[in-house]
Structure 1
Amino acid sequence: MRETARPDDARAPTVEGLSQTDLAVETYRVVAPDGTVDAEAVPDLSDEQFRDLYRWMVLQRTFDDRMTKLQRRGQLGTYASGRGQEASIVGSAFALDDRDWIFPYGREAGALLMHGLSMRDLVMYWRGIEDASRMEGANVFGVAIAIGSHVPLATGKAWGMQLDGDDTVAFANLGDGATSTGAFHEGLNLAGVLSVPAVFFCQNNQYAISLPFEEQTGADTVAQKALAYGVDGIRVDGNDVLAVYNAVATARRRALEGRPTLVEAVTYRRAAHTTSDDPSRYREDEEVDEWADRDPLDRYREFLAGRDLLSDVDEEAVQADVDDLFDEAVAAADDYPHRDVEEVFAHLYAEPTPELERQLRWYREFLETHPEMSEYIHQRERG
C-alpha cells in the first residue's frame, strides 16, 4: 500500500502561497477626514471646476431630498437615494467624457444629469413610465434594477466600442452587493480576457440592502477581486470627491490603453436602501452618526475654504436653482400624456399571440358592457 504523507508529517514539503494580506490594496485619498490635504495629489482643475464639483454635489443631495418627499406624497412608486455618496457619484462622473457610456444602478442621479439626461425623464423613470427608461438624449443605458445584471452588458458595449475604434469607455456603476452575483464575475472575466475599454465603479456603501459587506464576501476589499480576472484594481476614499475624480480619471486612461479597471469607492449609504426600506432594523444609530461625521460635502467645504473658493459659492442659491429645476421637471412629467391600457397588449410581443388577442377582445367587451368602468379607467389614464 502507498504511504500517504500527512500535513503534519516532517517529510512534507513546505509550499509557499499568497494570502489576502499579500494582495492588500491601499485606500487612496487626497483630502483626509480631518481636512488635511495632500497638495501634490490635488487634480489640475480650474477654480470654476472646483466650484462646479461642489454645485453638483449639492444638486445630488437636493434632488435626493426632493425625490424622497415626492415619494412620501404618493407621487413616485419608490426611490433610491444617494445621500452620503455624493462624492462618489459626482467625482466619478466629472472624470468621464460626454461620449462615454454610463451603465447606472440607481443612485447616481447627479451623474446622469451631468451626462445630459433630462431631469424630467429621470423623474418619469421613477414613476415607472417606460419611455423614460430609454434614457434618450444621453449616452446612458437603462437602470439595472436586477442587481449586477448590467456588468456583462457594459463589457459587451466596451467590446463593441473597441472593435469600432472609438476613443471612449463603458462605465458601469454598481454597489457592493453586485460583486456577489454571477453576472459580475462573468462580466469582469470577459473584460479581462478581451482587454476592453471598461471601468467598473463599485460604490461600496457597506450594505447590500440589509446585509453588511463583511457578511456577503470573505474578501477584505472589492478592489483586490479585480486581480483574479487580469483587471486592474483601485481602492479610493469614496467620501473624498477629489480622490474619486483622480481614481476614475486614472481608470479611464488605463481602460483606453486596454487595461479594464475596477474601482472600489469606500463610502456609506446614509439613507434607506430605497424608500420601502427601514435601515434602523439592521444598523445602529452610532454607526450612522460616525459616517455622518465623514460627510462628503462637509469635507469638500473645508477644502474650498482653504483655497478661498467657498465664499464664491452661494449654497442657498444653488439649492434654490435646483428646486426650480425640479419643480419644472415635475410639472413637465405631470404633463406627459397618460397611456391607454390597450398598449399593454400591443407592446408585450412583436406580434400578439392568440391568447393576448383573446384577452384584448375580452377587455373591449367588458368595457362595452360596463360603461361605468370605462369612464373610471379613462379617468385613471388621465391621472
Structure 2
Amino acid sequence: MLNIVDTLHHWCREARPFALATVVDVTGSAPLPAGTSVAVDEDGNAVGSISGGCVEGAVYELCRQVLHDQAAPQRARFGYSDDDAFAAGLTCGGELDVLVQRIDPATQPHLCTALAEVVQGRPAAVAQVVDAPNDLTGRMLCVGAGGGTQGILGGDAAERQVRAQAEALLQAGRTARVDVGGDAATCPERLSVLVHVHASRPRMLIFGAIDFAAALSQAGRFLGYRVTVCDARPVFATPARFPHADDVVVDWPHRYLRRTQVDARTAVCVLTHDVKFDIPLLRLALELPVGYIGAMGSRRTHDRRLDLLREAGVPAEQLARLRSPIGLDLGARTPEETAVSIAAEIIAHSNDRTGLPLSTRIGPIHPQLPQGRLVGAGDGIAQNPRSEGSTPLRGAAIHAPAT
C-alpha cells in the first residue's frame, strides 16, 4: 500500500472510505512485488497498479463491489491465461494472490496515523493480516520507529508476536510476509501477516571526490540511497561538484567512517585508489556490519591492495567481503557507465543474484521465495514507497585510472 501512500493519506484526511486491493503473494514471474496496492474510492477514482495492466480491470470491479456492498475482505487469485486474450490473467506467466478490503478512515485512525508518518518521511510499519481464521483477515497493527503500536489484532499474544516481527523488519528496512501463532500454549490462532515497511533511506558512502563519484552519487540517489561523498581534500570535496549527494564531507575517510552510523543496508564504495586513504579505510570497513564494500582500481592496484591489507592483519574471511575491482563486467569506460556497473553489482549482491544475463538462465526470473522470506528490495537497495515498490561476486576490472 505504500506505493500509493500520498493518495491514501489524502483520502484518510478527508475521511473518504475506499477499497484497498493488495498483492499478498506472488508465484513465479510477476511485474510487481507483494505489498503493492490499488485503491478505489466511492466515486470510482482509482490509484496504483498491481500488475502493469494485466488484471487491473478485474481488480477494479472487485474493489467497487467490496466497497459498495461493505462486504468482508475477499481474496482473488490471478494467473496465466492464453485461452482467452481478454481473460483476466498474467501473460508473464506468474500468479498474484490479491486481498481486497474496505477501509473506513473514521474507524481505522491507526492506519491514517501510520500513513501520515510515512508521508512525513518517518519510519513506520503496517502489519496487515492477510490469512487468518474468523474475522481477523484485513486487520492492521501499525508500528512506529519508537516501538509505539496502534490497532487491534484480536489477542495480546498475537499482537506481541506481530509487533516483534514488525519492529525487526522495520529495523532491517524490508517488507515481508510472515507467519505467527499456531502454538496452543501461547497464541493458538495462526496468522499470516504482510508487514509493509517504510524505513529511513539506506546509506551509500562514497570515498574519493572524483568524476566517478559524481556519477555514482547520481545513480545512488536514483536508487533511493542517502548519499555521502567524503574526501580529505577540501578543494575537491565541495557541494558544487556533487549536487546529487545529500552530504559532502571533508575528512580523512577512515576517520569519518569510524564516527558515522552504518548498518546492514549500507554500501561503502571506495574510489580513491590511493593506498594512504584505502588501507586504513578498508581495514575498518571490513570489520563493520555493512552490506557491501567495493574498491576501485586496476588489477595491479587490487593485488597490491590485498597484500597491504594482509600485512595490516586483515584476516582472509574479511578480505572475502571485498568487491574489488568494483563493479560488474560491462565494459564500462565513462564515469556514467562505471556508475551503472557499480550500482548493478550492489543490486545483484544485495539480492544474492549472479549478475549474469537473464537470457543465459533458465527458470523463473523471480524465484519463489520460501515462506517467511523477506520480499521486495534487497538489503542494500532502498524501496521508494512513494513512487508508482550471498554469494560473493567477483567484479571484473573497469577502466578506471590505473595506479
User: Does the pair score TM above 0.5?
Assistant: no
Q: Indicate the TM-score class for this superposition, using the shorter chain for normalisation.
A: under 0.3
TM-score with structure 1 length normalisation? 0.25
Q: Choose between structure 1 and 2: higher strand proportion.
A: 2
Greater relative CO (CA pairs within 8 A, separation 6+):
1
